[in-house]
């Protein structure tokens, strides 16, 4: 109820501002006419005064002119005077995203700061974010010195690839690679789920996006926000706003997008397959894995080192148990602070000029397709592997290769329980789920190598 | 000219996709292979470790409980499933199912001279 009141108030304010904006020039003109008439009257009085010498020496500016100028300047400096329909529409979209985050709880941890960053950035005259400073994919330090706003300073964390890596430290500290280590073939399902990335890449290239832009759009299919932001800020920073919004919105829609595809591609018998209990994983294995994975992947794919390295650092801090304070700080304080800054600045890039165009709609559509194909890829590969393995795996866990941790694993559990209420797939699905995080980071590293 | 440009772009696009997809699979298959080897290595380590401890300790009546690791680490899947089932039965409280509807029933007390206030109150007329 309160949210409806706030939304209604916002809409009412905007409707009130439109006539003010429209009439601001007329008001300014009326004020200036009054001012000139008053000035003319004062001059007549001064000319008819009994002391002509004093009237020539003491020519004092009439007070009404300065008040008039000040008032006009004030009116022209307000956001209302500089508003246009594009600005209004972006503010409306920001309010819609706030509604989705607060009321519908669509990934609120990121969607709320993104939406609010969009709201603040699109207020005319706020001077919080200047796209010119980051034009052409680089930082123009001269423009930075002259007049950078708050979000320009915060955006440096995105531009210099700091925030995604710090978030990955927190993600690693919250991830348990145990199910993946216990069942290594789930890594292959994580690789198959990257099909969505490459299908979206091809489709985007067909829609006349450049290869760099296509790669940035394709990575939405990896369902990994920090990786998408990391890659997009390097390859196609002009698309960062719509890509980030698409990625996080669709991650929240995983429970809506995936189940129909999973049911379409599997039979009820396949959905009811019960999997064997996984072997226990020792603490030593969980400590060795992040070290060797970091070294191996970084040697083979150096551009993926920041992401993979930070992910495995966070995981190592958690698994060793000797730096509990650091692990907790990574999971809580670090993640929360960086999430706020990242969300605000990513939302700030969604200005009217960058967002309100046909490309944004194409990105949104391609994002859905990327998710769909990623889900299908994982499920189909699991079915294919069942042809050759003795121990059948439930193909539903293949859809969890889309690395929306742990939402995608939960979706596999829920859909599996529709076929068999006593079938617990959650931990089996966590293997492909965390493998998908590695797979997406590897895919991003490869595209950086080839297109960066 | 336009077709040539498009042809070049498509060739690059398919090149990127094909190579990337293949490399993702190859890299992760390599990690699978290494994990399998590591897994077998650590499993063999765990199997040999209890053998050494059994030879070194003095056999007592409580050897099995003292030398084993914590129950959570050694409990097999079947034991965990049995415990889960027992907990489920316990919390589901298998007994006669009650309706869980609690009502306050009004007790209707029909009129009776013994309950009547008129006969219970002192008569003030007598005092005057």
The interface predicted TM-score of the complex, written ipTM, equals 0.71
Question: What are the CA-CA distances from residue A435 to residues A265, A393, B13 (Å)?
Answer: 22, 16, 25
Which of B24, B39, B40, B73 is the best residue to mutate to test the A interface, defined by the most A CB atoms within 10 Å of its own CB?
Answer: B24
> Which pLDDT score is estimated for B60?
45
Question: What are the CA-CA distances from residue B75 to residues A183, B42, B70, B71, B72 (Å)?
Answer: 19, 18, 9, 6, 6
Chain A and chain B share a number of CB contacts under 8 A equal to 90
Give the CATH class of A90-451: mainly alpha
> Which pLDDT score is estimated for A18?
46
Are A447 and B16 inside 8 Å of each other by CB?
A: yes
Give pLDDT tens digits along chain A (452 positions). Answer: 566 665 666 565 555 444 444 444 444 454 455 445 545 555 555 555 544 444 444 555 555 558 888 888 888 888 888 888 888 998 998 999 899 889 988 778 888 998 999 999 989 888 888 888 887 777 888 888 878 889 999 999 988 889 999 999 999 999 888 888 888 888 899 888 889 998 999 898 888 888 889 999 999 988 888 899 889 988 888 888 888 888 888 887 888 889 999 999 999 889 988 888 888 888 989 999 999 999 999 998 888 899 999 999 999 999 999 999 999 999 999 999 999 999 898 888 888 877 778 888 889 899 999 999 999 999 999 999 999 888 888 999 999 988 887 788 888 998 998 888 888 888 889 889 888 988 898 888 888 888 87
B78: nearest Cα among A424, A276, A416: A276
In this predicted structure, the answer to whether residue B71 has a pLDDT above a threshold of 60 is: no
Query: H or E element: which one contains A284?
Result: helix A283-300
Radius of gyration of chain A (CA): 28
B38 CB neighbours in chain A (<8 A) are 285, 288-289, 292
Which pair of tokens denotes residue A82?
A: 């500089």
CA distance B79 to chain A (A): 11
| Interface contact B13, partner A, CB < 8 A | yes
Where are the CATH 1.20.1530 domain residues in chain A?
A: 90-451
Phi, psi of A16 (to 5 degrees): -70, -35
Sequence-distant (6+) residues with CB within 8 A of A51 are: none
3 state DSSP class of A3 = helix
What residues 128-157 of chain A have any CB closer than 8 A to a CB of chain B?
A: none
A182: nearest Cα among A285, A278, A293: A278
> Which pLDDT score is estimated for B62?
43
| DSSP symbol at A331 | I
Residue pLDDT, tens place only, B2-37 = 444 455 467 777 887 888 888 888 888 888 898 888
Contact yes or no for A236/A259 (Cβ under 8 A): no
Residue A107 Ramachandran class (φ > 0 left, ψ -120 to 50 alpha, else beta) = left
Neighbours of A144 (CB within 10 A): 15
> How far is Cα A429 from Cα A319, in angstroms, rounded to an integer?
21
Cα dihedral across residues A236, A241, A246, A247: positive or negative: positive
Which pair of tokens denotes residue A273?
A: 């397959």
Which of B11, B22, B23 is the best residue to mutate to test the A interface, defined by the most A CB atoms within 10 Å of its own CB?
Answer: B23
> How far is Cα B18 from Cα B24, in angstroms, rounded to an integer?
10
Q: Which of B17, B73, B77 sits opposite A198 (nearest CB)?
A: B17
């Amino acid at each position: 109820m309160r949210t409806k009141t706030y939304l209604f108030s916002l809409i009412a304010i905007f409707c009130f501002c439109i006539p003010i904006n429209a009439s601001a020039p007329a008001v300014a003109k009326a004020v200036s006419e009054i001012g000139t008439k008053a000035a003319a009257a004062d001059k007549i009085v001064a000319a008819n005064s009994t002391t002509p010498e004093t009237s020539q020496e003491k020519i004092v500016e009439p007070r009404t002119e300065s008040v008039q100028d000040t008032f006009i300047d004030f009116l022209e400096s307000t956001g209302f005077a500089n508003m246009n329909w594009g600005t209004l529409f972006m503010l409306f979209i920001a309010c819609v995203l706030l509604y989705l985050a607060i009321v519908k709880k669509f990934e609120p941890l990121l969607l709320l700061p993104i939406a609010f960053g969009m709201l603040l950035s699109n207020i005319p005259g706020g001077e919080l974010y200047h796209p010119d400073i980051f034009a052409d994919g680089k930082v123009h330090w001269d423009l930075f010195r002259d007049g950078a706003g708050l979000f320009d300073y915060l955006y440096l964390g995105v531009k210099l690839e700091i925030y995604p890596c710090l978030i990955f430290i927190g993600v690693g500290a919250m991830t348990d690679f145990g199910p993946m280590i216990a069942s290594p073939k789930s890594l292959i399902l994580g690789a198959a789920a990257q099909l969505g990335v490459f299908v979206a890449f091809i489709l985007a290239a067909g829609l006349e996006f450049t290869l760099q832009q296509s790669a940035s759009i394709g990575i939405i299919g990896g369902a990994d926000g920090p990786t998408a932001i990391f890659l997009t800020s390097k390859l196609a920073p002009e698309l960062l706003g719509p890509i980030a919004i698409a990625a996080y919105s669709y991650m929240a829609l995983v429970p809506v997008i995936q189940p129909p595809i999973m049911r379409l591609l599997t039979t009820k018998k396949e959905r009811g397959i019960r999997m064997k209990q996984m072997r226990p994983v020792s603490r030593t294995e969980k400590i060795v894995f992040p070290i060797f994975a970091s070294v191996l992947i970084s040697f083979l794919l150096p551009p993926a080192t920041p992401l993979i390295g930070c992910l495995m650092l966070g995981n190592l801090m958690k698994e060793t148990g000797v730096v509990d304070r650091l692990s907790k700080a990574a999971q809580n304080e670090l993640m929360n602070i960086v999430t706020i800054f990242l969300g605000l600045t990513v939302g700030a890039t969604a200005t009217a000029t960058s967002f309100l165009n046909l490309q944004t709609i194409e990105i949104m559509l391609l994002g859905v397709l990327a998710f769909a194909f990623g889900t299908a890829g994982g499920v189909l590969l699991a079915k294919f592997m069942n042809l050759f393995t003795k121990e059948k795996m439930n193909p539903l866990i293949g859809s969890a290769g889309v690395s929306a941790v742990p939402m995608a694993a939960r979706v596999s559990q829920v859909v599996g329980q529709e076929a068999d209420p006593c079938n617990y797939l959650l931990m089996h699905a966590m293997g492909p789920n965390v493998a998908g995080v590695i797979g997406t980071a590897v895919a991003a590293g490869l595209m950086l190598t080839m297109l960066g | 000219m336009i077709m040539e440009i498009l042809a070049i772009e498509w060739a690059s696009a398919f090149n990127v996709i094909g190579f990337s997809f293949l490399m993702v699979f190859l890299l992760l298959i390599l990690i699978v292979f290494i994990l399998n080897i590591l897994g077998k290595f650590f499993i063999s380590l765990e199997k040999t470790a209890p053998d050494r401890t059994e030879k070194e300790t003095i056999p007592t009546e409580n050897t099995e409980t003292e030398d084993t690791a914590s129950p959570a680490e050694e409990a097999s899947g079947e034991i965990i499933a049995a415990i889960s089932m027992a907990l489920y039965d316990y919390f589901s409280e298998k007994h006669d199912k009650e309706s869980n509807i609690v009502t306050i029933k009004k007790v209707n007390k029909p009129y009776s001279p013994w309950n009547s206030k008129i006969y219970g109150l002192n008569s003030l007329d007598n005092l005057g």
